[in-house]
Structure 1
Amino acid sequence: MNTILNHSAELLILIFLVITFLMSVIDKLSDWKGNILFLKSHFAHTFVPPLIPFTLIVILILEVLTTLFCSLGIFEIIEEKNSNFSLLGSVFSCVILLVFLLGQRIAKDFDGARNITVYFIVSVFAVFLFQ
């Protein structure tokens, strides 16, 4: 119990990242076609539409890895080992969010880009904690 209390900030951030990216994975897998259609309309006036299926697969893989690494990181911390998986999950999270930010900026969706910043701050703080 002391381990959980001593590392509560780290554990809460990892749980936050797991929930965020696990739900995103579930959404993509349960409504693949809907996501493709939404993204094609979102990026309709850019060069992006032909790249969407490939990009979505890459993002899905990164989100699965992020969820896996953050989940393993939770168990690493509880078992009082190290935080290698936590750091990997946090870095992957930052990479995904930077891709999302780039996409929002390309689409000129500045409100969407601003919303990603909140998640990015949490992810960067996690990288800081686990270094």
Structure 2
Amino acid sequence: MKIILNHSAELLILIFLIITFLMSVIDKLTDWKGNVAFLKSHFANTFVPPLIPITLLIILILEVLTTVFCSLGIFEIIAEKNTSYSLVGSIISCVILLLFLLGQRIAKDFDGARHITIYFIVSVFAVFLFQN
């Protein structure tokens, strides 16, 4: 119990990242066609539409990796007091969010880009915590 209390911020951030990216993975797996259709309309006036299926697959793989590493990170913190998996999961989450930000900027969806910044702050803070 003491380990959980001493690492509560780290554990809560990992849970936040797991929920965020696991729900995104589930959404992509259960509604792949809907996601592709939405993204094609979102990026209709850009060069992106032909790249959407492969990009979405890459994002899906990165989200699965983030979820796995952050989940392993919880157990690693509790069992071994180590943060290697947590750091990797947090870094991958930052990469994903930077890709999302790039996409929103390409689509000129500045409000969407602003919302991604909130998630990015949490992810960068996680990287900061797990590097120490």
TM-score range relative to shorter protein: over 0.9
CA RMSD of aligned residues (A): 0.4
* SS in structure 1 at match of 2:53: helix
Deviation at 1:82, TM superposition (A): 1.0
Structure 1 position 17 matched with structure 2 position 24: no
Q: Which ranges in structure 1 are unaligned for 5 or more consecutive residues? A: none
Deviation at 1:33, TM superposition (A): 0.1
1:53 corresponds in structure 2 to 53
Q: Which ranges in structure 2 are unaligned for 5 or more consecutive residues? A: none
Q: Distance in 1 between matches of 2:81 and 2:30?
A: 35
Structure 2 length as normaliser, TM-score?
Answer: 0.98
Instruction: State the identity %.
Output: 84
Aligned ranges 1:1-131 → 2 under 5 Å: 1-131=1-131
Contact in 2 for aligned 1:3/1:80 (Cα 8 Å): no
Q: Distance in 1 between matches of 2:69 and 2:36?
A: 26
* SS in structure 1 at match of 2:117: helix
Structure 1 length as normaliser, TM-score?
Answer: 0.99
Q: Distance in 2 between matches of 1:94 and 1:66?
A: 10
Residue identity matched to 2:130: F
- Provide runs of 4+ in structure 1 moved above 2 Å: none
